[in-house]
A and B are shown apart, each in its own frame.
Chain A
Amino acid sequence: MIGLHNLSKHYDDLRAVDDVSLSIETGSVVAIVGTSGSGKSTLLRLVNRLIEPTAGHVTLNGQDTRDMPAFELRRRIGYVIQDHGLFPHWTVARNIATVPRLLGWPKDKIRARVEELLRLLSLDPATIGPRFPHQLSGGQMQRVGVARALAARPELLLMDEPFGALDPVLRGKAQADLRAIQQTLGSTILLVTHDMAEAIRLSDRVAVMRAGRVEQFGTPAEILSRPATAFVRDLVGEGERAFRFLSLIPATDLAEEGAASGQPLPRTATASEALDALIWQNAEALPLEGGGRISRAALLRAGHP
């Protein structure tokens, strides 16, 4: 459990972060969404003490983070940034080994861990491990950045617009991969993004920030169905509310007995993907892999709070 208690950061008259309190359950993902300049990055950097707050404090699993040296705290918190910040003079393997080396892990344990992480992020240890960052594609650099942050099994992972530099296709893939990795490892993640769709897709809870303050903190369903302010409503956007809502529901939740013809839906599909397939194939209902079916009526009923 990570607690942000009345955190503020003021630059002269500017309140970059203004009295923010949040808690992040162990094993959950919290997304901070807001327009540019709303204080998201500042809030994130207060958590690993890259900047010190004007007021307030952070607790990491019950421990006040002011009670330990900042560098020790940062070794317990993974940090991923948009531009990756890979060390250009080190190989991929050496980059990933950064924090374990700082912590003085034995060599063979580090080597095994690096290999494990490369595989976890679908990077071939034999070919990618010895490369230098400039020999990687954007998507590979991004994954190496995540691997480096995960290396020492951090208690918290901070991600500042981690997919901001990727094109839309890669971004979708990277989001899905992150969600899968998060569920496998049970990581606790605080993620910053300016993209509400990304926040809704990836997180268990969303904090909407504006001018240094949190306007609403709730589950994606709450944010979509009951936006607390006009600003949150604008950020959610009117256009795709129903689709976003459906994207939160697993298709299996809407399954009913019976058969249907057509291309079967995978059991991992969301209700939004099911509706898309249904419309595209012009079907009343589609079968679900492994039995059952999903009907158009059930999807339309589920598409609003």
Chain B
Amino acid sequence: MKRWPALVLLAAMLAFLLRPALFVPLLAPLAPEGAPVIYDRAGLLSLTLAHLALVAGAMVPATLVAVALGIFVRRPAGEAFLPLSRVVTGFGQTFPPVAVLALTVPVLGFGTWPTLLALFLYGLLPVFENTLAAFSALPPSVVEAARGTGMTPRQRLWQVELPLALPLILDGVRTATVISLSTATIGSVVAARGLGEVIIAGLTSQNLAFVAQGGVLVAVLAILLAQGFALLSARLR
């Protein structure tokens, strides 16, 4: 895999976040006459960091829960819960995040929490399904050897099964993270801080320059994160 396109992208994004003025000529044609070209109601860098924090805040617990659930339903004690878990995680993914926001704002109030919940539910399925697939794909002779050498179930899990399943699980985390990066933009509807704020401001003031900078930033973040995950799971394989 060639690394330099991602590095160029990263450099361009950092330049934009730290010196947005440099990009004014590029974006000016998209902004209405006399309107600001660069979003100015909050720093783009701080919004980007808030956006990433939102995604991380949802994906870290979603990953832990989904992996733990995936491991649990493969144990004899958890087998009975497999169909139910599939329904629940599948529902979390198919239920539109906007609807989650609408339903939870009355309970959780405006701000970060409803968005975190929506992203968390959305992220469960890809990680859960990949965890199941990763554990089914373990070579039977390796699992047999792990038992045959006298590892306890816990030692088998931590020393053999999880390390071998990790690359495939990470692929699931990557999918979920990339999706939630763009999904997180709708959080701004309920006043969660993030890059969605820039896009929505652009829509309401008919400033395409805002829409473009918010949208491109989210897209670039998604590409860079996907590359980062791919690099990590290649290293683990």
A interface residue numbers (CB < 8 A to B)? 48, 50, 71-75, 79, 81-89, 98-99, 102, 148
Q: If the complex has contacts A87-B160, A88-B164, A89-B163, are A50 and B144 also in contact, measured as CB distance less than 8 A? A: yes
The 9 closest A-B pairs by CB, nearest first: A85-B145, A74-B150, A75-B150, A79-B148, A83-B141, A85-B141, A71-B150, A98-B149, A71-B152
What are 23 A-B contacts with C-beta separation under 8 Å?
A: A71-B151, A73-B150, A74-B148, A74-B150, A75-B150, A79-B145, A79-B148, A81-B141, A81-B144, A82-B141, A84-B141, A85-B139, A85-B144, A85-B146, A87-B145, A87-B160, A88-B139, A89-B164, A98-B149, A99-B150, A102-B149, A102-B151, A148-B149
In whole Å, how far is B180's beta carbon from the nearest beta carbon of chain A? 29
Chain B residues within an 8 Å CB radius of A81: 141, 144-145, 148
In whole Å, how far is A281's beta carbon from the nearest beta carbon of chain B? 45
Chain B residues within an 8 Å CB radius of A74: 147-150
> How far does the alpha carbon of A85 sit from the alpha carbon of B141 in the complex, in Å?
5
> How far does the alpha carbon of A81 sit from the alpha carbon of B143 in the complex, in Å?
12
Q: Which of B146, B148, B152, B164 is the most central at the interface, judged by chain A CB atoms within 10 Å of its CB?
A: B148
Closest A residue, CB atoms, query B236: A89
Q: Which of B139, B144, B150 is the most central at the interface, judged by chain A CB atoms within 10 Å of its CB?
A: B150
Asked if B142 CB lies within 8 Å of chain A CBs, one says: yes
- Interfacial residues of chain B within 151-165, with CB under 8 A of chain A in the complex: 151-152, 155, 160, 163-164
In whole Å, how far is B81's beta carbon from the nearest beta carbon of chain A? 25
> How far does the alpha carbon of A81 sit from the alpha carbon of B152 in the complex, in Å?
19
> How far does the alpha carbon of A99 sit from the alpha carbon of B144 in the complex, in Å?
14
Closest A residue, CB atoms, query B142: A85
Chain A residues within an 8 Å CB radius of B164: 88-89
> How far does the alpha carbon of A50 sit from the alpha carbon of B152 in the complex, in Å?
12
- Asked if residues A99 and B141 are in contact (CB atoms below 8 Å), the reply is no
Closest A residue, CB atoms, query B155: A102
> How far does the alpha carbon of A302 sit from the alpha carbon of B146 in the complex, in Å?
47
Interface flags, B117-151, vs A, CB<8A=1, else 0: 00000000000000000000001011111111111
In whole Å, how far is B211's beta carbon from the nearest beta carbon of chain A? 46
In whole Å, how far is A13's beta carbon from the nearest beta carbon of chain B? 24
Chain A residues within an 8 Å CB radius of B142: 85-88
Chain B residues within an 8 Å CB radius of A98: 149, 151
In whole Å, how far is B204's beta carbon from the nearest beta carbon of chain A? 53
Chain B residues within an 8 Å CB radius of A86: 142, 145
**Which of the residues A75, A83, A84, A88 comes within 8 Å of B149, measured between beta carbons?**
A75
Interface flags, B49-86, vs A, CB<8A=1, else 0: 00000000000000000000000000000000000000
> How far does the alpha carbon of A87 sit from the alpha carbon of B160 in the complex, in Å?
7
Closest B residue, CB atoms, query A84: B141
Chain B residues within an 8 Å CB radius of A85: 139, 141-146, 148
Chain A residues within an 8 Å CB radius of B139: 83, 85, 88
Chain B residues within an 8 Å CB radius of A73: 150
Chain A residues within an 8 Å CB radius of B150: 71-75, 99, 102
> How far does the alpha carbon of A81 sit from the alpha carbon of B146 in the complex, in Å?
12
> How far does the alpha carbon of A148 sit from the alpha carbon of B142 in the complex, in Å?
13
- Asked if residues A99 and B147 are in contact (CB atoms below 8 Å), the reply is no
- Asked if residues B151 and A87 are in contact (CB atoms below 8 Å), the reply is no
> How far does the alpha carbon of A83 sit from the alpha carbon of B138 in the complex, in Å?
14
> How far does the alpha carbon of A219 sit from the alpha carbon of B158 in the complex, in Å?
45
> How far does the alpha carbon of A81 sit from the alpha carbon of B144 in the complex, in Å?
9
> How far does the alpha carbon of A81 sit from the alpha carbon of B148 in the complex, in Å?
10
> How far does the alpha carbon of A75 sit from the alpha carbon of B149 in the complex, in Å?
6
> How far does the alpha carbon of A158 sit from the alpha carbon of B145 in the complex, in Å?
12
Chain A residues within an 8 Å CB radius of B152: 71
> How far does the alpha carbon of A89 sit from the alpha carbon of B146 in the complex, in Å?
13
Q: Which of A48, A71, A73, A82 is the most central at the interface, judged by chain B CB atoms within 10 Å of its CB?
A: A71
Q: Which of A79, A87, A148 is the most central at the interface, judged by chain B CB atoms within 10 Å of its CB?
A: A87
In whole Å, how far is A92's beta carbon from the nearest beta carbon of chain B? 14
In whole Å, how far is A46's beta carbon from the nearest beta carbon of chain B? 13
Q: If the complex has contacts A87-B160, A88-B164, A89-B163, are A48 and B141 also in contact, measured as CB distance less than 8 A? A: no
> How far does the alpha carbon of A87 sit from the alpha carbon of B141 in the complex, in Å?
9
In whole Å, how far is B98's beta carbon from the nearest beta carbon of chain A? 42
Closest A residue, CB atoms, query B156: A71
Chain A residues within an 8 Å CB radius of B151: 71, 98, 102
In whole Å, how far is B13's beta carbon from the nearest beta carbon of chain A? 35
Interface flags, B177-207, vs A, CB<8A=1, else 0: 0000000000000000000000000000000
> How far does the alpha carbon of A205 sit from the alpha carbon of B139 in the complex, in Å?
33
> How far does the alpha carbon of A72 sit from the alpha carbon of B155 in the complex, in Å?
13
Closest B residue, CB atoms, query A72: B150
- Asked if residues B160 and A48 are in contact (CB atoms below 8 Å), the reply is no
Chain A residues within an 8 Å CB radius of B145: 79, 81, 84-87
**Which of the residues B143, B149, B160, B163 comes within 8 Å of A99, measured between beta carbons?**
B149
> How far does the alpha carbon of A82 sit from the alpha carbon of B112 in the complex, in Å?
55
Q: Which of A75, A89, A99 is the most central at the interface, judged by chain B CB atoms within 10 Å of its CB?
A: A89
